[in-house]
Amino acid sequence: MFCVMSCSVGKHLPPGTQLYKGATYDVTKEKANKTSAKSIRNQLKKITSPVPNKTILGYPYRVAIWYAVGEPKKQKGFKYWLRNKIGEAPVLSTAVNVNINSANFQAFLENKGYFRTDVGGDTAVKGYKVTARYHIDLAMPYKVNTFQWLMDSSSTFGKDIANLPPKENYIKKNEQYDLDNIKAERSRTDIFLKSKGYYYFSPDHIKAWVDSSKGDHKVNVFFKLKQDIPAAAVLPQTIRSITLFPNYTLLNPPPDTSKRGLILIDGIYIRDTVHYLNAATLLRGVTYRPGSLYSIKKQNRTLNRFINTGVFKFVKNRYQGDGDTLNPHFLDVYYYLTPLKRKSIQAEIGTFSKSNSFTGAQGSVTWRNRNLFKGAEQMAVKTYGSVETSSNDSLKSNNNFSLGMDVSLLFPRFVTPFKIKENNFFPPQTKFTVGYEWFRRQALYTKNFFRVQYDLTWKQKVNKENTFSPIAITYNTTSDYSLQYQALVNQVPALALSNLPEVIIGSFYNFTFHSVNPKAKNIFYFNGNIDAAGNTIGLFDKVSVPYSAKIGGAYFSQFVKMDMDFRYSRKLDDNTYWANRVIIGAGLPYGNSLFLPFSRQFIIGGSSSLRGFQPRQLGPGRVRADALQQLYLPQIGGDYKLEMNTELRFPLISKLKGAVFMDAGNIWTKDTVLYGKAAQFNSRFLSDLAVDGGFGLRLDISILLIRLDLAVPMREPYLERGKEWVIRDFQPFSSAWRRDNLVYNIAIGYPF
């Protein structure tokens, strides 16, 4: 089928046509013009039509596939998919119009301030390919001299325009003229005025013109109102009434302009015939009252607060003006709130792969009651179970089983003994959770976990979120030892310490920040955590010997733990990204604890970490956990962590993407009790770093990204000093080397 790949595509093209190869851009300019010719070429390339076929070393491989497959008999099936998804129809010379492109280029450049620029074009044929050639005689760019509004400054509207924040102005003195900045300034003005009551105003009501008569390649920009705009556009609108319909349905909508059946509370009309929500909850959602000026910000805040209560399926609003056509000043507002089904039950079943090398299946059933106390509270009861197995030799025949239940109650507001000021745009959440889990490690032991947590979550902005848990309690016990494991516990002190009854009583704080625009050139993400336990208890019970003090029959943990996850992605072009991540974590166990609780320890390795190392087989420090430790300790972790990842992501064919990456990092302990002195953190920690590298494939089908990474260890810190860099023995053609060094990772989603 693909023998045509070695032949010319030209013989398959329609007679009298050529394959469009692309365009060239010859930019000439005066010496005084400091504009980058490369920048101009890149900008014009983005608006050039048509887009040429993809090539490899100049060969249109996708067109070759398109011709080789041929016309499918049906508009579906493998042949149709292969031709249209892997292959690509040829872009012919008949689709190229250099005159239209030249006119578009000239208009584009003039809109960017390059007035009096000349653009021309022609085509050149070589073999079976045609190239479009464009010549751009680039004029000097014009800069803004002044920007001014022309209007009556004594009017209410004029005074509001004068209060536009000058620092946010898109049209700035001495910056290059750009039509996009004029459009952006009109939109900014519109949004500002809509926060001042001007409901009927529109950007189209603004007339802008540019005066270039000043000379010296400078322009004056003027804004003024058009003459034929409606009178209401320049009149601030006052909210006359607010009406809420909290059980609205399209099947039987109420007469929204009638006052029949309405009750008036705090100036707001409510029509709730089934008493779905209490009045306090409804009123809390509305961030303004009758008598206030219309504001688009308050409108969006109110809509967002209703949406985020979690009990409404649809939320919409409608504004209606008064009947005074000459002097309209008032608006009536109606909110239509369609409730979700109050009670629901949901079942889930699926498979998973964990970073500790276990794979398995899990299932859960969740019953939910929305609006439990008619204050938009949500109660959820979740029961779940799972079974896990491992392909890791040291973990075989040690399957895991779990059963558990969580009961949570979520309030769409702060529930605290003292009042906290809320952000009007994002309603806070308070969550109370009680949970129990039974966990069985086959042939080893049974663990019982009890959990109580009180969480407060709030947002400062759409990209800044905080979670504070003033009370977080975890209690676990170990029982039902197998005879073999009991004998080991009696012999190995570290195992005895890992199975002590334990209670963690503490607090937790999390802060998350991310860039608002996911398609920006520079994308940032930050996640920071502070976790502390046993500090308050330590004020009343000073402990000098670890594991000597108890509460309720369990040893209480004492530690402070902090960690941060920082990510930065650089967009190199439309589909190519350079992604980076740094994770730094430090835990300080003290008093009644020698090391962090195993559930709080840092781990490393696996499909979303150091991909050249399996979980439980790297660190801490210069140690490689032996088979006994890998099998019997709850996890191979540490009190400190440093991890660095970098990855170049690029497109391949259709929805298939590629990546090359490198990872580095390790974990360390504060004490020597679990792994010895070689695992301790010290001033030479950088010499303990593990390094790996590799490449990966990602199948991106929009709703799901399936990832396959192939990695090899490059530096193994647990080897003898001076021999850690195993990449020097790189032997990809040796089956024995591949067996011992290649690490495959299959996962869902990006690693970071």
Same domain, 52 and 201: no
pLDDT beyond 60 at 395: no
- For the chain, give the longest Cα–Cα distance: 96
Q: What average pLDDT does the segment 466-490 reach?
A: 93
What's the confidence (pLDDT) of residue 4? 45
Same domain, 271 and 326: yes
Residue 645 covered by a domain = yes
What's the confidence (pLDDT) of residue 527? 98
End-to-end CA distance of the chain: 40
Last residue in a domain, options 349, 376, 399? 399
Segments forming the whole domain that contains residue 197 = 143-229
**Exposed, middle or buried: residue 427 (CB in 10 Å: 0-12, 13-18, 19+)?**
buried
What's the confidence (pLDDT) of residue 254? 64
Last residue in a domain, options 292, 315, 339? 339
Same domain, 295 and 354: no
The amino acid that residue 205 corresponds to is: H
Residue 408 covered by a domain = no
Q: What average pLDDT does the segment 457-469 reach?
A: 93
Q: What tens digit of pLDDT does each residue of 668-709 get? A: 999 998 999 999 999 999 999 999 999 999 999 878 899 999
Residue 452 covered by a domain = yes
Residue 567 covered by a domain = no
**Exposed, middle or buried: residue 97 (CB in 10 Å: 0-12, 13-18, 19+)?**
middle
Confidence category of residue 619, pLDDT binned at 50, 70, 90? confident
Confidence category of residue 493, pLDDT binned at 50, 70, 90? confident
- CATH number, domain at 252? 3.10.20.310
Confidence category of residue 346, pLDDT binned at 50, 70, 90? very high
Residue 446 backbone dihedrals phi, psi, to 5 degrees: -120, 135
What's the confidence (pLDDT) of residue 2? 40
Residue 404 covered by a domain = no
Same domain, 34 and 109: yes
Distance CA 618, CA 638 (A): 11
What are the tokens at 60? 């249109």
Q: What tens digit of pLDDT does each residue of 159-201 get? A: 999 999 988 999 999 999 999 999 999 999 999 999 999 999 9
Confidence category of residue 238, pLDDT binned at 50, 70, 90? very high
Same domain, 447 and 595: yes
What's the confidence (pLDDT) of residue 1? 41
What's the confidence (pLDDT) of residue 353? 61
What's the confidence (pLDDT) of residue 104? 97
What residues contact 86, with CB distance under 8 A and at least 6 apart? Answer: 62, 65, 653, 654
Distance CA 88, CA 509 (A): 52
Last residue in a domain, options 138, 158, 185? 138
Q: What tens digit of pLDDT does each residue of 250-297 get? A: 776 666 666 777 899 999 999 987 888 899 999 999 999 999 999 999
Domain count, the chain: 6
Between 97 and 390, the higher pLDDT residue = 97
The position carrying tokens 């490449």 is 695
Q: What tens digit of pLDDT does each residue of 44-98 get? A: 999 999 999 989 888 999 999 999 999 888 888 899 989 988 899 999 999 999 9
pLDDT beyond 80 at 99: yes
Same domain, 116 and 208: no
Q: What average pLDDT does the segment 718-736 reach?
A: 92
Same domain, 696 and 558: no
pLDDT beyond 80 at 580: yes
